[in-house]
Structure 1
Amino acid sequence: MLKILQHFWSFVLHPSDRKLIAYHSDTYSKVFSTLFLFKVLILAIILPLQYLVQYLDPVFTKKSDTDEQAIFYMISAVVFAPLIEEFIFRYFLKYKRYYRFVISHNTYRKNYRWLLYSSVFLYGLAHLFNFENANLLFYFLGVLLVSSNLVDGLVFSFIRVRLGFVYSWAFYGIWNLFIFSLIGTIILLKNPVTKIHNDNIDLEINVSQFRDTTQALFFVRENSDSLFNLNVRQYPLSQVIDSLYGPNRYQVDDEYIDIEMRSAKGYSKDSLMNLLKEDFTIEPNIP
């Protein structure tokens, strides 16, 4: 394991497009497992930094208002997205014969370091577009937000070059499967996000990883600034906020949510917003 990590570090410092020669049948599986564990360790280190960024300058994402059923989402995330991204960002990291019409092999190798680093940088930069922020501080802290993607770029590039394109595609897909399984487990463990039962209100809020529009429901009974009944299933939180408080008044780090709320006397919208802010990232939208 240590030798594999040393070889990976040597690749990061002194990149080359040399293929790994396997002397043992289990070499590739050892590379896979070692780098997978390495990425898990890096994820554990980077996540606190990303939470720090969220504290300093909240980041926002937007959920689709269409179906995101689990089976289709997983096929896309595990098969098609890795294939497309590997082709765009890493296919060219191995010299091909037809490249000679554009660049000689010698020139390619002399400039390989910058080719690889540019690939990793562009891969990380592309993931900044997953967020909706547009302020200066966000872009200043952006390197922390995509730090895990930069590490991904180095690891995937190493596997693509040393083992081959199919192996980096497979590794990327397996990693995505691991991440989405981890997210799904966390969501199951933290549900319900909010559960309150008292004389003023009965409230339960759950989050979902995917959306099924055949189950979608949005019902609200209100009077001025008071809510008496709110029943939401399979809606993005941003749409719920826009419906209750007016469009574009708030920025939301989005989730698919289910809300069941009843209040015989009426519950103020401001009080509900305060409850939502305890568990979700919601900030006033500054024009």
Structure 2
Amino acid sequence: MKQIITDFFSFIKKPKDFQYSGIDKTYKWKVFFTLFIFNICFTIISVGIISVIEEFYPLDHKLDELDLSPLLMLLVVSILIPFIEEVIFRLGLRRKGILKRLFTVEKWSKCFSIFTYISVLIFALVHGTNYYFDNYWFLLLVPFLTLSQFASGFIMTYLRVQFNFWIGYLFHATWNFTAISLTILPNLFGSETIINKETYHLEIRENSPFQIKDKELIFSTNIDTIYQLETEGNKTEEILKAIHAENKFEPVSDYIDIKFTSEKGIPTDSLLHILETEGYIEKKAKTN
């Protein structure tokens, strides 16, 4: 493992288009899993840095706004996007095909480091567009927000050069699958809340992200009083928008179904307080 990490850092220091030619058929998988573990450790550090940044500069991730079913999102993020990115950023990092005609061995050797650094740099910085930003000072934060992409970019480049395109793609797909699954797993076993009062009946069910339903959203309000709210298959943020609470609260649970009925009605704030108390939503952090 130590030698694999040493060889990897040697590649970062001086990238070379040199393919593994040993006879150990398991070596590429040793490299794969060693660098996967390394990337996990590095990402933990990166997440810590991002958490510190969020204390001073609240971040909104565009992935949260994608109107896709969780299963479709899993397929897109872990299969389609990695393939597209590997083709764009790393397919051409071997002297093959047309590149063999355009570059002599000497020219390619001189240019390869530059091509590698440019590829990794652009790959990482492009992921800064995953965030919404409202001023150009945000650009100063992008290198810190994309530290994980810098590391994984070098890893996938190393795998692509040392072995082949497909093992680099497999790493990318496996990494994205792991990351998106970890965001989904907490919701797999959704909680349930049932409250029966003299003045209202409320049922709240947290959905499994793999449970695909037809969307339904019915509500009845009068000024700040709510009489009926029935939802199915909607994102929590969509429910908050429907009752005009998106500026005050944000989702903790991505998908919830609500069945609320009250003849006399209750204040909308009271319903939101229940959702907050039960842990389905939380108040937005105040920003300056």
**Fold match (TM-score > 0.5):** yes
Give, in angstroms, the shift of residue 209 of structure 1: 3.5
AA at the equivalent of 2:65: K
Aligned-partner Cα distance in 2 for 1:249–1:69: 24
Aligned-partner Cα distance in 2 for 1:208–1:281: 23
Aligned-partner Cα distance in 1 for 2:123–2:138: 18
Partner of 1:204: 204
Partner of 1:99: 99
Aligned-partner Cα distance in 2 for 1:195–1:261: 10
Offset from partner CA, 1:146-187 (integer Å, 9 cap, x none):
221121111111111111111111121222222233222222
Partner of 2:240: 241
Offset from partner CA, 1:192-230 (integer Å, 9 cap, x none):
3x9585868746363654573x43121212221122332
Aligned-partner Cα distance in 1 for 2:137–2:259: 37
Aligned-partner Cα distance in 2 for 1:96–1:143: 32
AA at the equivalent of 1:242: K
Counting aligned pairs with the same residue, the percent is 22
Partner of 1:258: 256
AA at the equivalent of 1:33: F
Q: 1:7 to 1:244 in 2, by over 3 A?
A: same
TM-score, length-scaled by structure 1: 0.81
Aligned-partner Cα distance in 2 for 1:40–1:3: 18
**Greater length-normalized contact order (CA 8 Å, ≥ 6 residues apart):** 1
Partner of 2:219: 220
AA at the equivalent of 2:216: L
Aligned-partner Cα distance in 1 for 2:243–2:115: 50
CA contact (8 A) 1:82 1:172 kept: yes
Give, in angstroms, the shift of residue 109 of structure 1: 1.9
Aligned-partner Cα distance in 2 for 1:118–1:253: 38
Partner of 1:188: 188
Kindly report the root-mean-square deviation, in angstroms, between the aligned alpha carbons of the 2 structures.
Answer: 3.4
Partner of 1:55: 55
Offset from partner CA, 1:249-273 (integer Å, 9 cap, x none):
6796897421426374644334555
TM-score, length-scaled by structure 2: 0.80
Aligned-partner Cα distance in 2 for 1:272–1:134: 32
Aligned-partner Cα distance in 2 for 1:15–1:281: 48
Aligned-partner Cα distance in 2 for 1:285–1:237: 22
Give, in angstroms, the shift of residue 280 of structure 1: 4.9
> How many equivalent pairs are there?
280
Aligned-partner Cα distance in 2 for 1:258–1:270: 18
Aligned-partner Cα distance in 2 for 1:10–1:209: 42
